[in-house]
Amino acid sequence: MRMKILIIGSKGMLGTDIVSEISKTENEVIGWDISDIDITKEEDMSKIEKESPSIIINCAAYTDVDKAEEERERCCSINVTGVKNLVDICKKLNIPLIQISTDYVFNGEKEGYDEDNKKNPINSYGQTKAEGEDLIIDNLKKYYIIRTAWLFGKNGKNFVETMLKLFKEKEEIKVVDDQVGCPTYTKDLAKAIINLIEKDYGIYHITNSGKCSWFEFAEEIKRLTTSNCIIHPCKTKEFPRPAKRPKFSILNNNKIENLQDWKDSLQEYLKI
């Protein structure tokens, strides 16, 4: 059945790829960004009601992890109040909500998290994303919560682009080697999200296969770009940040087919 799919946050790194992938299907795609709708404003929900979509994919979020520690109210407004408004309109229209969430809802003390593991965030960003998840779970029957991690893609700032820039500017850099996660290519994630619409409602963990530290991630980027920059491993404590980071951000995928290895996706990304 042909669906009308509304993407909120359509100009972001993930949202852009989702719009692109849906455009290849028979479904109608509507892409809205901040200039089209402010999810923190309850009165803006009437725009969604007027459009009458079949499903909403919410890619809009406050994602500046460090700044969230000092801008807790703004972060909460987008990640909690905004989600509540979307929950209310989805409930009213009786349509599903796909919410993009994060590995940061966990504290990183385990070497891998299942979909049903208890949430225990250690920073403000993670706390607001966890609260947003709870609002959805407590109030909707039709929902997909997609936790993902370490995103990179061609339509936004990301670790790969930061490294490429530093490789050109510096002869030597330091990168932390005691935080481990699953790098995820937004193009792969976008395809998986579209396929998910045919699955059962619930919580899903979707990342590329494999795992690495930020240092190992940087080393692979260097290898593929033949940079001469020297990368030194270091510890998180050497770079104090306002927000704590989980040591292990590995999300176990127990529900759907695994995506390709992150190294293969990185190679594809760098060829773009």
Q: What gap in Å lies between CA 267 and CA 11, rounded to an integer?
A: 24
Q: Tell me the C-alpha distance between 100 and 41, whole Å.
A: 19
Is residue 104 annotated as part of the catalytic site, yes or no? Answer: no
Of the residues 62, 104, 113, 125, which is catalytic?
A: 125
> Cα separation of 86 and 105, whole Å?
20
Name 128's Cβ contacts closer than 8 Å, sequence gap at least 6.
Answer: 62, 68, 72, 75, 76, 78, 79, 80
List helix spans (H) across the chain.
Answer: 13-22, 45-51, 72-76, 82-93, 124-139, 159-169, 186-196, 214-225, 262-271
Cα 136 from Cα 35, distance rounded (Å):
25
Please list, in sequence order, all residues whose beta carbon lies within 8 angstroms of the beta carbon of residue 221, skipping any fewer than 6 positions away: 160, 163, 164, 167, 227, 266, 270
**Residues marked as catalytic:** 125
